Amino acid sequence: MDKTGKSTKRLTTARELNTVVLDYYLECARARHEGRPVGWMPPMNGAIEVFYAMDLQPVFPENWSPVCAAFGLAPDNFERSEKMGYSPDLCGYLRNIVGYVHGDMNGEGVPLGGLPEPDLLISFGGGCIPAMKIFQILEQRFPGAKVFSADLPQVAVEDIREHHVKYAVSEMERLIEFLTETTGHTMDYDRLKEVVEVSDRACELWDEIMSYRRYLPVPFSAAEIGIMFVMVTRQGTRTAVDFLTRMRDEVRERAEAGRGVIEDEKIRLFWDNIPLWYNMGLFNYFEKMGGVFVAETYSAAWSLRLDTRNPIEALARKSLMSYSLVSCLSIDRRREMVLKACRDYAIDGAVFHRNKSCVPITLGQADIQQALLSELGVPSVTIDACHMDARNFSLAQFQTRADAFMEMLLEKKRLKTDRTS
Amino acid sequence: MDLGAYLSRFSQAVRDKPNNLRKASECGERIIGYFCTYTPVEIIHACGFLPIRIWGGQVEVDRAYSLVPNFICPYMRFSMERALKGEFDFLTGIIQGYTCDVACGLMNIWKGHIGMQMYHSIALPYNDSAESREFFASALKETVIRLRDIGGTFSEQALHESLALYEQIRCRVLNLYEMRYAGALPFSAADLLTIVHAGFVMRPEEYSALLEGMENHLDTDTPPEPRGIPILISGSLLEDPALIEIIEGYGHRVVADDLCTGLRHFSPPSGSGTIPLDRLVDRYMNRFPCPSRVRAAQRVPLLMELIGRSGARGVVFAFQKFCTPHLADYPIVSQALRSRGIPSIVIEMEETGIMEGQLRTRLETFFSMLEA
Ligand code: SF4
Ligand code: SF4
């Protein structure tokens, strides 16, 4: 096992993902040549559906960072941003993207041809501070881009009131106006309705796929979680729905045939926080002792259903909820989500990635760990790392903790089996 | 009382804050805490509560680490530790404007461990538009409802009076700032920081009266001769005057600040509008902005204006370690300042407080560069 590494994928559809990823980045590059306006935006909000409905090209710098991490480009980007004065204590997404846009963005060796420069920046007010700061820095780097200063109230899911929704709706409308004015593309509201329906269909499929993870043995693990690429970049397109349909079919077939990720599944694990993008192989590490990652917190963010009768409001609500669902805005809600997942998926133990790069997701973890133990008797282990920067990850520490944790879980299981037999 | 007596009243208020506030709460005062100065204190006050800013200070962190990671700012770590030790037992609740992820997350962690009657986060708009103002006004009305739920009372007249009181306070402190720009402040910048801190933990009525009393002694005292290099301090919150004392100890002067324990808390003193709520909204929209709210590029001209008014020749960035909003703006701001001939240095404040030895060497180098 190395400090960096790729995961082993067992699903045929998960392997097909490479083509989906490549097609997407080719489409981004093509947009620039064809003169289709390219807009950079933060992930997980309703602007993506608006873009697809208006035939504009959305690009997600936050999603580009995992690509950089997987292809080994991140260390150079970090070096560049740190030289510019960006502290190594800042979120790795910020340091990576800042380093990337200040280097040769489309140079030789840049995977997938790199990102096309933006015509539009949907610059963020809302979400986490790093996500907001990323776009403010991008504004400086791309002074020619037209900037939409978006504004989204940061509010816990359980505290969303009418005034939050009303404001978010007015922001969606303002975005459409801005895009019409700056690009000349107009919004066809029937088309938007279709896009929202397709987006909702993707969420429905996502939920269905996740539901097969209740099966013992589990038909696929967190090692395949790269599939959420379609949820990040392709929401509102047929590509996402077609891919997820194939994925659903394969997962269903495996689940029903009782084909698991590994031959002898002994321990069902849960992962909290963002994966280590430079080492997705960690998800396979536990398999030698019979441990499989059955569920993770991150994937819950993609099951937000949309009320297709009222597309704009649905997108406004989605935008309001996405960040809140995975961050420290709603620790209570997150705890409920994790507890529910651990019950639904019959989890034996949970791994909490204490992520130096992501404070909003890391805050509240201790409370959730405590609740897991006291309410469900599910023990957990903490792994110190960072989702982007391998310098903040100690392989030796990880192995020691992971091995001890697995031994403890196996022992616990043995005792339980002895008692019941 | 002479000026010295006033100054010691302020430092006493800072030093004895836990006892004073505990006593006040025992006597029936209902106290609401906040972390960030974007919290609309006027609403809290108008509803009959005493708003105070939660402090961090210096404390050995022990219990807090079972709940929070060590990579969050010391301010938040220290305040959590104190809360777990019962130091904030006098609080009825916390209201917090969402400015930073850490403050938001910490409030929610407090909620799970420190029993209080209310925890409320207010989403603040980033843009200034008719819609965002309307939204913010609704958020403030929601805050009033939450305060009423725990026994608060509210009237437009009460808000009007609270706004007037805080406006008076802000004008008085800003007057001290004006004197400092003019080199006419008869006490040090470290003392000014203490005065600001006292305002966070005193009843505003008393604080205002004390400031007023002190005003009568400001003109009569002869201000010290301006000497040394004029410096501007910029950062999030500076609780300990030690850094300023060190700078002053070298014979230099801190002539201006861009701190939330400073100018950002006071400027502007009020907002405009026909009804009190609109005036409150207007003031928050026009605040001297924090990096957590705006772009680095928007702050540069404001900093340059401060530099122009105060004559500062260098900037000391005093950051809480791990403070994302400030760290993320730093490269753009410092570069912009450099291109306008203003050098800067960064001091990160860690757990152990200011690392004296290392800090002194770095500051010395910085000052000799400025002197050259
Ligand atoms: S990883 Fe966390 S801190 Fe970084 S941009 Fe995403 S939510 Fe924000
Ligand atoms: S703005 Fe900085 S100092 Fe203030 S709470 Fe957030 S991280 Fe801490």
The yes-or-no verdict on residue B317 having pLDDT over 80 is yes
CA of B335, closest CA in chain A: separation in Å? Answer: 9
A189-200 mean pLDDT: 97
- In chain A, positions 349-388, which contact chain B (CB-CB < 8 Å)? 354, 356, 359-360, 362-364, 366-367
Residue having the nearest C-alpha atom to atom 5 of ligand 1:
A131
What is the pLDDT at residue A388? Answer: 97
Whole-structure pTM value:
0.96
- Yes or no, beta carbons of A153 and B123 under 8 Å apart: yes
CA distance B131 to B135: 6
Determine the pLDDT at residue B52: 98
Mean pLDDT of chain B: 95
| Ligand 1, pocket residues at CB < 6 Å | A 91, 93, 128, 130-131, 274, 357-361
Mean pLDDT to the nearest integer, B262-276: 97
Q: Taking residues A344-352, what's their average pLDDT?
A: 97
Of B109, B295, B321, the CB nearest to A367: B109
Residue A364 is nearest to which of B109, B126, B134, comparing CB atoms? B109
- Whether residue A133 and residue B325 make contact (CB cut-off 8 A), yes or no, is yes
CA distance A354 to chain B (A): 8
Q: Which residue of A has its CA nearest to B97?
A: A154
Residue B224 pLDDT exceeds 70: no
Residue B223 has pLDDT above 70, yes or no: no
Return the percentage of chain B with pLDDT > 90, whole number: 90
Domain boundaries, chain A: 12-420
B338 in contact with chain A, both atoms CB, cutoff 8 A:
no
Across A352-365, average pLDDT: 97
For residue B138, list chain A residues with Cβ-Cβ distance below 8 A: 161, 163, 166
Chain B residues with CB-CB distance to A149 below 8 A? 126-127
Residue B353 has pLDDT above 70, yes or no: no
- Residue B140 Cβ < 6 Å to ligand 2: no
Predicted confidence at residue A421, as pLDDT, reads 75
Residues 6+ apart with CB under 8 A from A258: A215, A217
Cβ pairs bridging A and B (under 8 Å): 140
B233 CA distance to ligand 2 centroid (A)?
16
User: A339 falls in which pLDDT band (50, 70, 90)?
Assistant: very high
Mean pLDDT value across residues B243-247 = 93
ipTM here? 0.95
Among B329, B312, B315, CA closest to B366:
B315
Query: Nearest residue on chain A to B68, judged by CA atoms?
Result: A363
Please report the pLDDT score of residue A338 as a whole number.
96
User: CA–CA separation, B3 vs B109, rounded Å?
Assistant: 42
Q: CB B108 to CB A87 under 8 A? A: no
Residue B222 clears pLDDT 90, i.e. is over it:
no
C-beta B80 within 6 A of ligand 2: no
Hey, of B80, B101, B109, B346, which one would you mutate to test binding to chain A, going by the most A CBs within 10 A of its CB?
B101
Q: Which chain A residue's Cα is nearest to B112?
A: A367
Q: What is the pLDDT of residue A311?
A: 97
Locate all alpha helices (DSSP H) within A35-161, ordered by sequence.
47-53, 61-70, 74-83, 92-101, 129-141
The better pLDDT of the pair B352, B155 is held by B155
- Asked if B123 reaches chain A (Cβ–Cβ under 8 Å), the answer is yes
* Burial track A35-64 (b if 16+ CB lie within 10 A, e otherwise): ebbbbbbbbbbbbbbbbbbbebbbbbbbbb
User: Is A298's Cβ below 8 Å from some Cβ in B?
Assistant: no
pLDDT of residue A4: 83
From A334, which residue of chain B is nearest by alpha-carbon distance? B108
pLDDT attached to residue A392: 94
Interface test with chain B among A87, A272, A339, A357, by most B beta carbons within 10 Å: A87
Mean pLDDT of A362-374: 97
Least Cα distance to A77 among A57, A59, A94 occurs for A94
Q: pLDDT tens digits, residue range A118-151?
A: 999 999 898 999 999 999 999 999 999 999 999 9
For residue A3, what pLDDT is reported? 81
CA of A361 to the centre of ligand 1 (A): 8
> What are the chain A neighbours of B66 within 8 Å (beta carbons)?
366
* pLDDT on residue B258: 97
Model confidence at A322, in pLDDT bands (50, 70, 90)? confident
Position B221 scores a pLDDT of 55
**Is residue A355 within 8 Å of residue A364, measured between CB atoms?**
no
The number of residues making up chain A comes to 421
Q: How far apart are CA B246 and CA B240, in angstroms?
A: 11
Q: Answer whether A163 sits within 8 Å of B328, measured CB to CB.
A: no
Is residue B37 within 6 Å of ligand 2 at its C-beta?
no
- Between A98-107, A219-228, B97-106, B220-229, the lowest mean confidence (pLDDT) is in B220-229
CB contact under 8 A, A85 and B330: yes
* Banded pLDDT at B203 (limits 50, 70, 90): very high
CA of B71 to the centre of ligand 1 (A): 14
Band (B372; pLDDT cuts 50, 70, 90): confident
The Cβ of residue A72 has, within 10 Å, a number of other Cβ atoms equal to 13
* Alpha carbon of A172: minimum distance to chain B alpha carbons (Å): 12
Contacts of A86 in chain B (CB under 8 A): 327-328, 331
Inter-residue contact B36 to B102 (CB < 8 Å): no
pLDDT computed for residue B363 by the predictor: 92
pLDDT category, B352, cuts 50, 70, 90? low
Residue of B nearest to A169 (CA): B131
Give me the pLDDT at residue B227, please.
82
Q: Which candidate from B104, B126, B331 shows the least CB-CB separation from A125? A: B126
For the CA of A273, the nearest ligand = 1
What pLDDT, on a 0 to 100 scale, did the predictor assign at position B58? 86
pLDDT digits (tens, 9 = 90+) for B51-102: 999 999 989 999 999 999 999 999 999 999 999 999 999 999 999 999 999 9
CA of B349 to the centre of ligand 2 (A): 12
- pLDDT for residue B360 is more than 90: no
**A75 contacts chain B (CB < 8 A):** no
| A263 touching B (Cβ < 8 Å) | no
Q: Alpha-carbon distance A242 to A249, whole Å?
A: 11
Q: Which of B196, B175, B183, B218 is nearest to B4 (CA)?
A: B218
Please indicate if any CB of chain A lies within 8 Å of the CB of B335: yes
Q: Which of B72, B106, B328 sits opposite A90 (nearest CB)?
A: B328
Whole-number Å distance between alpha carbons of A406 and A285: 11
Q: What is the mean pLDDT of chain A?
A: 95
One-letter amino acid of B40? P
Q: pLDDT digits over A30-65, tens only?
A: 999 999 999 999 988 999 999 999 999 999 999 999
User: How high is the pLDDT of residue B355?
Assistant: 60
Q: Is the CB of B76 under 6 A from ligand 2?
A: yes
Cα angle A115, A117, A120 (rounded to 5 degrees) comes to 120
